[in-house]
Amino acid sequence: MDLYEYEAKDLFGRHGVPVIGGQVVTTAEAAAKAATEIGGKVVIKAQVKMGGRGKAGGVKVAEGHDEALEKANGILGLDIKGHIVKKVLVTEASAIAEEYYVSFLLDRANRTYLAMASVEGGMDIEEVAHTKPEALAKVAVDAIEGCTPAKAKEIVTAAKFPSEVAPQIEKILIGLWDALIKEDATLVEVNPLANLADG
């Protein structure tokens, strides 16, 4: 079963993965009210079970009630690859310094799990995988052993994450593995895994 972004955030939060909260709404007026309550810049994100939302116009930054109302009006009802947007997630905007990528998936071909990680996350991770495969680390994870602290360190090292964020990413990987196993998932993915300007 695929999850909406807000559902995945709730699930990740229950497993110790840091996430930014927000409000899920179905009208532009409610989005504007949420933006006012959050204050400052917000991001209004289409909630569809589909990638490529940003490029399709389904993710917009707004500041204040009126701008949030306008942006939400433009997103609600939008057709993103055959999916009509019926709700949006309004979250605080973050000052992102770097975007990374991490995931665990069931590797059926090799009858194991696979961790994939890159310091080049963000909207074009598929392009990175295609044109710069060396930038996407792939590390097998034994189903019985799981993502131990040592395995998390191996993944972080293979992906060449900066040393100053390595401990945080190792902890996040352990939380993601916990979510994968305890929720009986075949894929967990964070894109982008954001390194904020304040660390």
Active site residues: 101, 189
Cis peptide leading into 192, omega within 30 of 0?
yes
The C-alpha torsion from 42 through 80 and 3 to 193, rounded to 10°, is -50
Q: How many residues make up the chain in this entry?
A: 199
Q: What are phi and psi of 34, to 5 degrees?
A: -65, -40
> H helices within the chain, ranges in order?
5-14, 28-38, 64-75, 125-131, 149-159, 166-182
Q: What are phi and psi of 138, to 5 degrees?
A: -125, 120
Given CA atoms 144, 149, 150, 151 in this order, what sign does their dihedral have?
positive
Name the region of 17 (left: φ>0; alpha: ψ -120 to 50; beta: rest): beta
